[in-house]
Structure 1
Amino acid sequence: MSARRQRWEIRPPAPTSFVEQLGLHPLLAHLLYQRGLHEPSIARAFLNADYSSGLHDPFAMRGMAAAAGRIAEAIERGELIAVYGDFDVDGITAVALLTQAIKAMGGRIRPYIPHRAREGYGLNNLAISQLVADGVTLLITVDCGISNYAEVAEANRLGLDVIVTDHHHPPMLLPPALAIVNPRQPDCAYPFKGLVGVGIAFKVVQALARYGKRPAGLRGRDLLDLVALGTVADMGPLHDENRVLVRAGLIALNESSRPGVLALVAAAGLSPGMIDSGAIAFALAPRLNAAGRLADARRAYELLLADERMKADLLAAELNTTNRERQALTRQLYAMAETMVMQSGRTEHPLIVVSHPGFNAGVIGLVAARLVETYHRPVIVIEQGEETSRGSARSIPGFSIIDLFDQCADLFVRYGGHAAAAGFTISTNQITALEQRLLALGSQHLSAEQLVPRLLIDATVPLSDLSWDLYATLCQLEPFGQGNPQPVFMTPNVTVIDPQPTTDGNHLRMRVRVGQTSFEAIGFHFGRFADALRRHPNIDLAYQLAVDEWNGQRRLRLLVRDFRRATKSE
């Protein structure tokens, strides 16, 4: 058994004919083949990710022509438009993108981002009434709305035209909007279904440009920094069109002159030129998300569109503080939830449901994600209220939580999401019924095989093959993320030298050696294994190749993903 109690699965190699036809480094060809790119021409297109040729026609998306036509008409007539988004990074960036673009097209537009605690997810009737009272005649949703049938119907009753742009799983009954733009909706021929909310907002801007509504002083590429932030933060699959958009967006981020982006990057301890998909996922996105989790998401929106650096620095510092509070609260509630799981015997359930009045809706999704990592099964965490409660779910690879929720639709006030993550509002007196039904469905649909954690290993590689040249070759696969993970390699029978826990005891530093070749390695959350590795230093090591930068010096090191006793002797 490995240190993380995972079953290791080494992927089969690419066919020799594919490697020869591609004419690239054999390991790179192998990794491309594993990503489902089985035709050399498709593999080369993936590597190129060309912005000028790699984007699809926005009008291939069902509803786009009607949506863009109505927005163009509203701009021409000087109507007041509202863009209504979610309070996560995807929604915030989508609101910022459409607001910036439509203003530059000469349109009158105002943003609306609901408050998580006071209003909850999606459209709500109070907000709609206020927008109508303010003179709004066209409402555009971004990253939400697909599950808001009743609210869209109410908007229609009040004389408001509604365009829904969303990427979440469509329910059986679609809202009665003027137009719905969602590549996942039935009968939509758009060739790529993986766009997130900000990606769809960008396609709307592309469509408006075809209607002659070009934003003055603003190129489409000037918006791609927002697209990259939202797509990576929302874990959009980084292949096809998302890969093209994020790759170009990372260039835009690293060259950005937005005061808000520069302030955010500085607050995260980074600098322009250092921003990759990992920096978005682990440094920038958490700070933007913290506003919507514990405070007001509009602060993150204000940061992104700030026009002065001094104001942006103040907002970025505020988000930094909120993010530290979010981290502390997540640790506290995770410990509380884990205790509940252990004491209740839920570790034996096919999926885990925990609810408590002390949970905070702003971080229950993060708590659920950490419980999934710990127990490798779908997890639903519910903030229990007096009359209504809010829940957040995270799933395991290969199992769709939203499909399960579809079979519980009658129990929810509202719900939405996708295969990996979903959220809902429910009457508190229905929580027990929900747990019972989910457990029954989980027992029916989750196999024992699915509940065994797996580590997919891309290739067995000798330590002596690791070099700067190989690292540069692997960088051709970037950006890494959902759907295009950073490769994991395995080297058998390495010798561990001087394993030491970090000062806090959580992490592990060591050197590993085979023959005359050695590398520094770090294992996050492996600190407790230092003593065992001193006693048994010969291991099979699963890792990722990375670069450590310190005081201007760069060196290769290994990020430990797992290890096990060596399967053969030296």
Structure 2
Amino acid sequence: MSARRQRWEIRPPAPADVRERLGLPPLLATLLYQRGLLDPAAASAFLAADYATGLHDPFHMRGMAEAAARIAAAIDRGELMAVYGDFDVDGVTAVALLTQAIGAMGGRIRPYIPHRAREGYGLNNVAIGQLAADGVRLLITVDCGISNYAEVVEANRLGIDVIVTDHHHPPAELPPALAVVNPKQPDCAYPFKGLVGVGIAFKLIQALARYGKRPANLRGRDMLDLVALGTVADMGPLLDENRVLVRAGLIALNETARPGVRALMAAAGLAPGLIDSGAIAFALAPRLNAAGRLADARRAYELLLAGDRETADGLAAELNATNRERQALTRQLQARAEELVAQSGRAEQPLIVLASPEFNAGVIGLVAARIAETYHRPVVVIEQGGETSRGSARSIPGFSIIDIFDQCADLFVRYGGHAAAAGFTIATAQIPALEQRLLTLSRQYLRDDQLAPRLMIDAVLPLTELSWELYAGIQQLEPFGQGNPQPILMAPNVTAIDPQPTSDGAHLRMRVRAGNSVFEAIGFHFGRLAEALQRYPTIDLAYQLAVDEWNGQRRMRLLVRDFRRAGGARNGG
């Protein structure tokens, strides 16, 4: 059994004929083969991720022509518009993107981002009423709205036209908007379904350009820093068009002139030029998300569009402090969730539902994700209120939580999401009924093998074979993320040298050696196992490659994903 109690499965290498056809080094050919890229043209297109040729026509998206025409008319007529988004990074970047771009096209547009605690997710009638009173005549949603049928009806009643742009799972009955732009809706011919909210907002800007509405002093590529932030933060699959947008967006992000983004980098201890998808996921996005989780997401919006560095530095420092608060609260509530699991025996159930007034709606999604990782089960965590409660769910590979929620629709006040993650509002009295139905459905649809944690290893690669040339080959697959994960490699029979926990006891630092090859290694959340490694230092190591740069010096190091006593089964076990 491995340190993480996972079964290791080694993916098959590329067959000889595929390697020969691709004409690439063996490891790179294998990694492309595992991604289904079997011919030179497909592999070349994937590796190039070319912005000039890799984007799809926005007008292939159902509803796009109607949406762009209506916005162009509103610009021409000087109508007041509002863009209404979610309070996460995807929603905030999409609001910032459309507000900036349509404003630069000469449009009159204002942002609206609801407060998580006071208003909740999606459109609400109080906000719609206020926007109508302020004279708004066109409302554009981003990253929300697809499930807001009643609220769109109310907006129409008040004389507001609504354009819904969203990427979440569409319900059976779409809202009666002037246009619905969502590649996942029925009869949408758009060839890529994985765009997130900010990606769809960017396609809307492209469509407006075809109507002659080009933002003054703002190129399309100047906005891709926001697209990269939102797409990576929302775990959009980094394939097809997302891969093209994020690769170009990372270039824009590293060269950005936005005072707010540069201040955010500085607050996270990052330097322009060194930002990759991992830096977004683990450093920039959490700070932006913290505002919407515990405070007001509008502060993140204000940071992204800050006009000067002094203002930006103040906002970045504020988000940094909020993020530290978010980290502490998440740790506290994760510990409480684990107590509830242990006390209730729910670890033996195929799906875990936890409800408590102690939970905070701002972090229940994070808590659910960590409990799901620990127990390898779908998890629902609910902040239990007096009359209504809010919940967040995280799933496991191969099990769509939103499909299960569709079969519980009668129990929710509202819900939405996608296969891996979803959220809802529910009457508190309905929580027991929800848990029982979810358990019944999970027993029906979840297979035992799905509940057995597995670590998929891309290739066996001894430490003695590591080189800068090999590292450069792997980096051609960047950007890594959802749908295109960073490769996990396995080195057999390595020796752990001086394994020690970090000062807080949480993580593991050591060197690992095979023959004359020695590398620094760090294992996050493995600190408790340092003593065991001191007693049994010969291990098989599952790892990923990383690089440290300091004073112009580059050093390869290993990120520990798992380990086991040396000599385990070579394919599984």
TM-score if structure 1 supplies the norm length?
0.99
Aligned equivalent of 1:219: 219
Q: Which residues of 2 match residues 126-525 of structure 1 at below 5 A?
A: 126-525=126-525
Distance in 2 of aligned mates of 1:508 and 1:258: 37
8 Å CA contact 1:250–1:275 kept in 2: the answer is: yes
8 Å CA contact 2:540–2:568 kept in 1: the answer is: no
- The one-letter code of the counterpart of 2:163 is I
CA shift for structure 1 position 493: 1.3
SS in 2 for 1:225: helix
Distance in 1 of aligned mates of 2:333 and 2:165: 34
8 Å CA contact 2:21–2:39 kept in 1: the answer is: no
Bigger mean CA offset, 25-34 vs 113-122: 25-34
CA distances 1:223-261 after superposition (whole Å, capped 9, x unpaired): 100000000000000010000000000000000000111
SS in 2 for 1:449: helix
CA shift for structure 1 position 503: 1.9
Bigger mean CA offset, 122-131 vs 24-33: 24-33
SS in 1 for 2:257: coil
Distance in 2 of aligned mates of 1:502 and 1:216: 51
CA shift for structure 1 position 554: 2.1
How well do the aligned residues superpose, as a CA RMSD in angstroms? 1.0
Distance in 2 of aligned mates of 1:446 and 1:214: 49
CA shift for structure 1 position 535: 1.9
Q: Structure 2, unaligned stretches of length 5 or more? A: none
Aligned equivalent of 1:100: 100
- The one-letter code of the counterpart of 2:554 is R
Distance in 2 of aligned mates of 1:389 and 1:424: 8
8 Å CA contact 2:87–2:292 kept in 1: the answer is: yes
Distance in 2 of aligned mates of 1:154 and 1:370: 38
Bigger mean CA offset, 489-498 vs 137-146: 489-498
Distance in 1 of aligned mates of 2:233 and 2:97: 15
SS in 2 for 1:54: coil
CA distances 1:291-328 after superposition (whole Å, capped 9, x unpaired): 00000000000000011111011000110111011111
CA shift for structure 1 position 551: 4.7
Aligned equivalent of 1:52: 52
Bigger mean CA offset, 349-358 vs 506-515: 506-515
Distance in 2 of aligned mates of 1:466 and 1:78: 61
CA shift for structure 1 position 341: 0.8
- The one-letter code of the counterpart of 2:386 is E
8 Å CA contact 1:493–1:568 kept in 2: the answer is: no
1:81 aligns with 2:81: yes
- The one-letter code of the counterpart of 2:99 is T
- The one-letter code of the counterpart of 1:70 is R
Distance in 1 of aligned mates of 2:39 and 2:438: 41
Distance in 2 of aligned mates of 1:457 and 1:202: 35
Distance in 1 of aligned mates of 2:40 and 2:494: 35
1:67 aligns with 2:67: yes
Distance in 2 of aligned mates of 1:104 and 1:90: 21
CA distances 1:361-397 after superposition (whole Å, capped 9, x unpaired): 0000001011011111000000011111000000011
CA shift for structure 1 position 552: 4.3
CA shift for structure 1 position 473: 1.1
CA shift for structure 1 position 568: 7.0
Aligned equivalent of 1:118: 118
CA distances 1:458-487 after superposition (whole Å, capped 9, x unpaired): 000121110111111111110000001000
CA shift for structure 1 position 39: 2.2
Aligned length: 569
Distance in 2 of aligned mates of 1:357 and 1:252: 43
SS in 2 for 1:386: coil
Distance in 1 of aligned mates of 2:344 and 2:96: 44
Distance in 2 of aligned mates of 1:507 and 1:320: 22
1:533 aligns with 2:533: yes
8 Å CA contact 1:412–1:425 kept in 2: the answer is: yes
8 Å CA contact 2:22–2:38 kept in 1: the answer is: no
8 Å CA contact 1:18–1:40 kept in 2: the answer is: no
Distance in 2 of aligned mates of 1:63 and 1:213: 18
Aligned equivalent of 2:7: 7
Distance in 2 of aligned mates of 1:568 and 1:417: 40
